[in-house]
Structure 1
Amino acid sequence: MSAPQVEEQAGTKRASISRTSRVRPTWPLYLLFLGVAGLVGATISFGLLTDSLIALGIPDPGPVTTWGLPFFRAVGWMLAALSVGSFMFSAFYISPKVPDNDNSRLVEAPLTVDGDIAARTGAFSALSFALVALLMIPLVLSDVSGTPFRDTLAPDMWAVAIGQVATAQAWAVVAAFAAVVGIAGLIFRKWIAQPLLLVGAVLTVVPLGMEGHAAAGGAHDYGTNSYLWHLLGMVFWVGGLMALIAHGRRLGPDMELGLRRYSRIALFAILVMIISGLVNAAVRVEWSDWFTTTYGYILVTKTVGLLVLGFLGWIHRSITIPQINTRPRLFLRFAVGEAVVMAAVTGVAITMGRTPPPPPRDPNLSQMAIQMGYDLVEKPTLTNVFTMWRFDVMFGTIAILMTAGYLYGVWRVHRRGGTWPWLRTAMWLTGTVSLFVTTSSGLGMNMPATYSMHMIVHMILSMVVPLFLVLGGPLSLIMAAYEPGAPGQPSAHDWVVAITKAPLLKIISHPAVNTAQFLFFFYVLYIFIPFYELMISEHAGHLSMNWVFLLSGYLYFWELVGPDPLPVQRPTAIRLAWLVGSMPFHLFAGIYLMQLTTVMGEDFYTSLGLPWELNLLEDQKVGGGIGWASGSFPLGLVFILLFLGWRRDDRATEVEYDKKVEAGESDEYEVYNEMLARMAEGGSTRPDYYGDEFPRKP
């Protein structure tokens, strides 16, 4: 078929679509989705009100709280999902206006009209979520205290709520995060900001995963981590579909591409939701309670709803993807119905937070199990820490996914006919295996119980795991595994290239900033502003610390020895100098902790009631020694790598210089010969010519 015929056919197709479709606003559908979720949640919760109040032993707070709390909680979840889905579209599903259609200039690209609409939707959704979160603070206080809602609006009652009620504290943090994301989303209009806004939108739901039934009782580490996975799956699944519907109703370009990309995310998200939901239920509800208690009935209803929705969604997209360009309204009709059912399932899910769960499996939990989620029965030693195993639902799962993703990337490289260094693969696998073993073995189990084990895990997560992951070069692998996109339509290859040129990364990767951020978290946590006792007293604190250790260490070693590109690749000698200059600060922190006479986290460690004798001060000194000694080994390895790299750079420079000399292309060599000739004649050793900019005065 000739080019004119192709263009004529495309024009006919566009005309056909324009005759059968027109741009339609999506805000009425947003209100429908929010309303369905809220009404389903409020109705079911009201029906279960009596049992909930009896279980909690509090008076009826009144109809405003009874209806308002579950209604706005469901609305908040849907708004968070819409924010995530919208930023996901503006970042990765809608191509921006790439200058001159040159994908290498993606970092400069502003958003298209469709991308701008999606980004603004994400920003306004985040701001609306922040307002709902603020409203939830007095509602939560009213609910837990039995006080009428109007009485909790006083400023002093807000202070009580934020200061004493954990759920209200979580909503306050959500309000702050969502407000920052919403304001930033309205300010930054270039593509390069959208992936960061997507991350920010995801972080707004994290505090909600740290409270509720999942964060209490035995095995709450499993409950909290699985609940977090569940929430993340929900916002990507539900939010992505709402954003896709909006894109289709405004007749946005690349609809088929967006639908295909969303379908992959949706499949993964539904699997995450189902598996995490079952794990969460298994640690808190006996199988016999699934069909004999109200909580079990809700759990079964939600699980069945997820399975049915996942299956119908897969069938729906399998049928409509091939027809999306010719029959877009067919997809939209099915998608709207699917989103309504999603909203209803979301409403069902939030009622679990107001439904008394069945009695715990073990009503006589030890203080250790209440604090940590499990019991330790023997003192950790060098050998038995590798015979204790408790799978870490968060970092163990991430280690598995990172391994699978990297090997998939290597497979794609070979499928394209390329090669990938086996040493980089070995480095990456060493990093993921180290992450898995550290968090899921006795090392991770004992980390919350003693300071010395905490410091061992800290050093591994901040200095060992990130170093090996960095040496694996994951960004270079993505660029090798995926081809550059068509002009003006960036692919995964182009996204990674743009991220490695991001202005923010240029700031963070500056040696001064990078070194400061790596030392900052260590000194703030243990020395200058000791947050240590606050962080170790909650599972959320342990989770946050582990994430900070990993991310901070990755950024630090990426700038020092990473093979992946950075906005500014500094000479090896400069990086080596920064490492040498920072090493005393690493060592000083360990020495300080070894000499400290006050026990950090004494109240928490004493409350655990460990079954073996432990001198807390001596254990802390051991931890300081571990921090001092173990930090030296990875830094020493980095020093060797940098020193060898410096020598390679010097040799390369020498070889290049020798080649120029042999070819007679070296100006310096000619000047040197002239100087020797003048010396032989007894003249001045100073040359008559210093370069174009600085000629010698006569």
Structure 2
Amino acid sequence: MTETARKRTVAPAWPLYLAAFVVAAVVAGAVAQSFTGGSLAALGIPDPGIATTFGLPALRGVAWLLMALATGSFLLGAFLIPPKQTQDDLNGALLTVDGHIATRTGAHASAGLALIGLVMIPLVLSDVSGQPLRTVFFEAAAWSQALEQVADAQVWLLVAIFAAVVAVGAYTATSWWSQVALLIGSIVVIMPIALTGHSATGGAHDYGTNSLIWHLVAMLLWVGGLMALTAHALRRGPHLTQATHRYSRIALFSVIAMAASGVVNALIRVRLEDLTQYNYGIVLIVKTVGIVVLGVIGYVHRARTIPVLEGEPTAFRRLAMGEVLIMAGISGLAVTLGRTPPPPPLDPNLTRMQVQMGYNLSEPLTWTNWVTMWRPELLFSVIAILLAVYYLHLTRRVDGWKASRTAWWLLGCATVVVTLSSGLGMHMPASYSVHMTVHMILSMGVPVFLVLGAPLTLISHAYPAGEFNPRMWAESFQRSKFLRVVTFPPVSAIQFLVFFYAMYIFIPLYELMISEHAGHVIMNAVFMVSGYFYFWELIGPDHIEGRVTAKTRLAWLWVSMPFHLFMGVYLMQLGVVMGEDFYNSLELPWDPDLLKVQKEGGGIAWASGSFPLVIVFGELFRQWLRDDRAETAEVDRHAEETDDEEWRRYNEMLAQFQNRS
């Protein structure tokens, strides 16, 4: 193909983006507008005008696509196409031209999202108050009122702030690692929305919130990934075949996750017989069918085009642009669910416990009944199961992988599932002592088991060297400056202790975290991630650049552990009940002595570290002996090579000293 012909096949992506935004806005606005009359009448709110009734859902539709575009753009630069690299190490690797274009696209999308987030503040006030948008938009007092009294306004302010931070980072990003950080940041942007809305209220809201998180993250990866990949194909970017292969696997997982989480989210709020009786159910059916059909079409499309991409690069974009527009329509339809009144609740007589926790408890936790009480936890437990399956898949690709490492990893994953899905997880929000038990398991038990599974070493053995694949990503992470800083013993110990102390010293923070399901999600994540880095530095078999000797690590363990155990003593002596108002609001039928339960929790914090510390001390001692034996063997080898020259010189020195005396 001549250069002129190649240039004719290159097309800009912005018309596709613009068309997708228009489709999402029109679908969202039109569908919501058709339901507006009934919704406002049911709520007794005056009609604020078409600028709000059409504009609010339309902007939400555009906002969803901007979120997806930002995530997909950073996904493309981080994992779908490689950066510039001169060796098998991505640390310091700069972005290619296509990586820069994707990053700049993500920056523009994030900046646009930040602006929409700010505009949504007066829009949601207009929506809930019935005041025309022109009345509240230009009044500072109205903005202040919205942020003080309207939860959705606060949510969109957080979205705007997070998106602005991502945008600033993306405009200055030039390296591969920045894409990984920005990808994580773009997913964090959606969390304020994922943790609010219909799913975060009423009965079973733990199921609703966790399933919505899966749903929205999968949507970002699926829709955003295709938008970014289509743009890459339009500009005839390199590595299209490899990127399409990877995206196809991500898309398949995302479609399954969206369908499964959507079903769960619907079943906890809508009776099957009500689906066709209410607008909410009709929209839900159309959306679900659209996701499944589009997923099948996309899979067939990529299955047919991937084999011919090398010889015919334009094959992918023929149908991909149509997929993007259909996705935009489904996204626009989906945002109307947040404004469409759902059918009557499955249980209209919710107890205080159901309102606060999502479910009822009838008896306190005992040493035996925790194994008979089960409520599947849909976030971290599912992640643990997926990690276990992936680990077992990798072990099949590695000959001679130690069974002990597999056992440790599976034990860690199983511990997460049992802890969060059994009676322990169910009673965690209702009891301080159980909360502390779960905290100790997740921060000191699970991480110990997982690090001994050596997952990064397994990844390094399971994939070929010299390619842009998970092996290169894992080994680059092990050599990164970030990991050196986080696993530096003083830093590792401080990060492990600081959240523990902040959570239980600053009582208002504890009360805030336990009173919302979002708080429990954040706490559980921090417990495990913080503990993993701490114990990885201490005993993890995975390689860490510049790691200190086992003797030094053992000394740091002796130094840091008393600070951790001291918190238990502090809690046992504390005379103020932490979270008293929240625990009283649950109206538990067994009427616990809250101060006694809290002191029991302090005792658990003080004593529960003994079991994992036995493993940690044992592993550190074993590594110390191994290092000592290696050092002795090196000394012996050197002595043999030099014929004990140093020993001979030492004896000669002693003899000379003796003769002089």
* TM-score, structure 2 normalization: 0.97
Matched, 1:253 2:231: no
Determine which of 388, 402, 406 is the counterpart of 1:421.
402
Q: Distance in 1 between matches of 2:261 and 2:208?
A: 9
CA gap of 1:560–1:159, structure 2 versus 1, over 3 A, is farther
The match for 1:113 is 97
| 1:282 Cα deviation from its structure 2 partner | 0.6
Which has the higher mean CA deviation after the structures are superposed, 51-60 or 337-346? 51-60
The match for 2:47 is 60
CA gap of 1:427–1:17, structure 2 versus 1, over 3 A, is farther
Determine which of 353, 364, 374 is the counterpart of 1:389.
374
| 1:186 Cα deviation from its structure 2 partner | 1.7
Report matched runs for 1:45-194 at 5 Å.
45-99=32-86, 102-103=87-88, 105-153=89-137, 154-194=139-179
| 1:530 Cα deviation from its structure 2 partner | 4.3
| 1:222 Cα deviation from its structure 2 partner | 0.5
Q: Distance in 2 between matches of 1:80 and 1:665?
A: 69
CA gap of 1:665–1:284, structure 2 versus 1, over 3 A, is farther
Give the aligned residue type for 1:677: A
CA gap of 1:653–1:245, structure 2 versus 1, over 3 A, is same
Q: Distance in 1 between matches of 2:48 and 2:523?
A: 37
Q: Is the 8 A contact 2:507 2:578 kept in 1?
A: no
Q: Is the 8 A contact 2:225 2:247 kept in 1?
A: yes
Q: Distance in 2 between matches of 1:665 and 1:343?
A: 77
Determine which of 517, 520, 532 is the counterpart of 1:542.
520
Give the aligned residue type for 1:349: A
* Structure 2: gaps of 5 or more residues: none
The match for 2:187 is 202
**Aligned partner of residue 217 in structure 1, secondary structure:** coil
Q: Distance in 2 between matches of 1:156 and 1:549?
A: 40
Give the aligned residue type for 2:329: A
Determine which of 411, 418, 422 is the counterpart of 1:441.
422
1:164-207 residue CA offsets vs partner (Å, 9 max, x unmatched): 32222222221122111111112221112211211111111111
| 1:135 Cα deviation from its structure 2 partner | 1.5
Q: Distance in 2 between matches of 1:35 and 1:317?
A: 26
Fraction of identical pairs, as percent? 53
Give the aligned residue type for 1:313: G
Matched, 1:522 2:503: no
**Aligned partner of residue 323 in structure 2, secondary structure:** helix
| 1:132 Cα deviation from its structure 2 partner | 1.3
Give the aligned residue type for 1:168: A
| 1:156 Cα deviation from its structure 2 partner | 3.2
**Aligned partner of residue 59 in structure 1, secondary structure:** coil
Which has the higher mean CA deviation after the structures are superposed, 522-531 or 89-98? 522-531
Q: Distance in 1 between matches of 2:199 and 2:450?
A: 31
Report matched runs for 1:673-688 at 5 Å.
673-682=651-660
Give the aligned residue type for 1:134: L
CA gap of 1:166–1:652, structure 2 versus 1, over 3 A, is same
Q: Is the 8 A contact 2:103 2:173 kept in 1?
A: no
Q: Distance in 2 between matches of 1:205 and 1:112?
A: 28
Q: Distance in 2 between matches of 1:148 and 1:568?
A: 62
The match for 2:594 is 616
* Structure 1: gaps of 5 or more residues: 1-13, 684-698
Give the aligned residue type for 2:55: G
Which has the higher mean CA deviation after the structures are superposed, 314-323 or 325-334? 325-334
The match for 2:342 is 357
Matched, 1:633 2:633: no
The match for 1:264 is 249
| 1:17 Cα deviation from its structure 2 partner | 10
Q: Is the 8 A contact 1:462 1:553 kept in 2?
A: yes
Give the aligned residue type for 2:651: N
For the aligned residues, what is the CA RMSD? 1.6
Which has the higher mean CA deviation after the structures are superposed, 643-652 or 606-615? 643-652
1:5-37 residue CA offsets vs partner (Å, 9 max, x unmatched): xxxxxxxxx559945852221111111111111
**Aligned partner of residue 359 in structure 1, secondary structure:** coil
Give the aligned residue type for 2:572: M
Give the aligned residue type for 2:24: A
The match for 1:25 is 12
Matched, 1:475 2:456: yes
The match for 1:372 is 357
| 1:668 Cα deviation from its structure 2 partner | 4.2
Q: Distance in 2 between matches of 1:168 and 1:412?
A: 50
Q: Distance in 2 between matches of 1:271 and 1:535?
A: 31
Q: Is the 8 A contact 2:440 2:608 kept in 1?
A: yes
Q: Distance in 2 between matches of 1:159 and 1:505?
A: 42
Q: Distance in 1 between matches of 2:393 and 2:8?
A: 40
| 1:590 Cα deviation from its structure 2 partner | 0.7
The match for 2:576 is 598
Give the aligned residue type for 2:389: A
